[in-house]
Amino acid sequence: MANSNTTQAIEKLAAEIGENIYIDVAKWHLYLSDAHLHTTVAEKVYPLIENEELSEDAIISILRQIKVSLGAGRIEVSLLDLLPMQCQVNLIDLLEDYQKNR
């Protein structure tokens, strides 16, 4: 039963991330749900929330580790490099709020 609850919690978190956080490509805002990255981010940050280890440094580290393929795989860029600073701040705030309200 706990696994089902965790899956639902990750899906809820992924939906919030996907609707609110975007990458900036040539001044185009591509929301993480449209880029199919929201679930990956949620799965990686959820253990931090669950273990109460959420910190800005930990989130930045995770964003740096997530690689986004561009040009049909010709190059890979870290998600951190594609997020505008305001989206990084918004993501941290979103995750902190999620942790408080779960």
Domain ranges of the chain: 2-101
Query: Which residue from 79, 12, 9, 15 is spatially nearest to 47, judged by alpha carbons?
Result: 9
| Confidence band of 5 (pLDDT split at 50, 70, 90) | confident
- As given in the structure block, the two tokens for residue 79 are 């998600």
Contacts by 30-34 with C-beta closer than 8 Å and gap 24+? none
State pLDDT tens for residues 16-58: 999 999 999 999 999 999 999 999 999 999 999 999 999 999 9
